[in-house]
Amino acid sequence: MKRVILELRALSKYYISEHAVVVGLNSVDLSFRVGEFVAVTGESGSGKSTLAHVLAGILPYANGELLLDGSRTPHYDGADWEAYRRDKISFISQNYGILEGLSVGENVTSALRILGFSPEEAKKQAEEILHRLDLFELRHRLAAKLSSGQKQRLSIARALAKPASVLIADEPTGNLDRENSEKVIRLLADAARDRLVILITHEFEEVAAYATRRLTLSDGKVITDAPLREPNV
Ligand code: ADP
Ligand code: MG
pLDDT digits (tens, 9 = 90+) for 160-218: 888 899 999 999 998 888 988 998 899 999 999 999 999 999 899 999 999 999 999 99
Name the nearest CA neighbour of 51 among 232, 227, 216: 216
Q: How far apart are CA 77 and CA 72, in angstroms?
A: 13
Name the nearest CA neighbour of 23 among 64, 57, 70, 66: 64
Atom index in ligand 1 nearest the CA of residue 202 equals 3
pLDDT for residue 8 is more than 90: yes
Ligand 1 binding pocket includes 49 (Cβ within 6 Å): yes
Least distant ligand from the CA of 170? 2
Ligand 1 binding pocket includes 15 (Cβ within 6 Å): yes
**Band of pLDDT at residue 129, cut at 50, 70 and 90:** very high
Ligand 1 binding pocket includes 22 (Cβ within 6 Å): yes
25-44: average pLDDT: 97
**Strand duo 166-170 + 4-16: pairing:** unpaired
**Band of pLDDT at residue 95, cut at 50, 70 and 90:** confident
Name the phi and psi angles at 215, rounded to 5.
-105, 140
**Percent of the chain having pLDDT more than 70?**
99
Q: Note the pLDDT of residue 169.
A: 96
pLDDT for residue 233 is more than 70: no
Read off the pLDDT of residues 43-92 as tens digits, 9 standing for 90 and up: 999 999 999 999 999 999 989 999 999 999 999 999 999 999 999 999 99
Better-scored residue on pLDDT, 231 or 138? 138
Q: Note the pLDDT of residue 119.
A: 96
Q: Note the pLDDT of residue 115.
A: 87
Name the phi and psi angles at 114, rounded to 5.
-60, -30
Mean pLDDT estimate for the chain: 94
Give distance in angstroms: CA of 201 to centre of ligand 2: 8
Q: Note the pLDDT of residue 162.
A: 86
Q: Whose CA is nearest to atom 23 of ligand 1?
A: 15
Confidence (pTM): 0.94
Read off the pLDDT of residues 118-128 as tens digits, 9 standing for 90 and up: 999 999 999 99
Q: Are 37 and 192 in contact (CB under 8 A)?
A: yes
Q: How far apart are CA 39 and CA 37, in angstroms?
A: 7
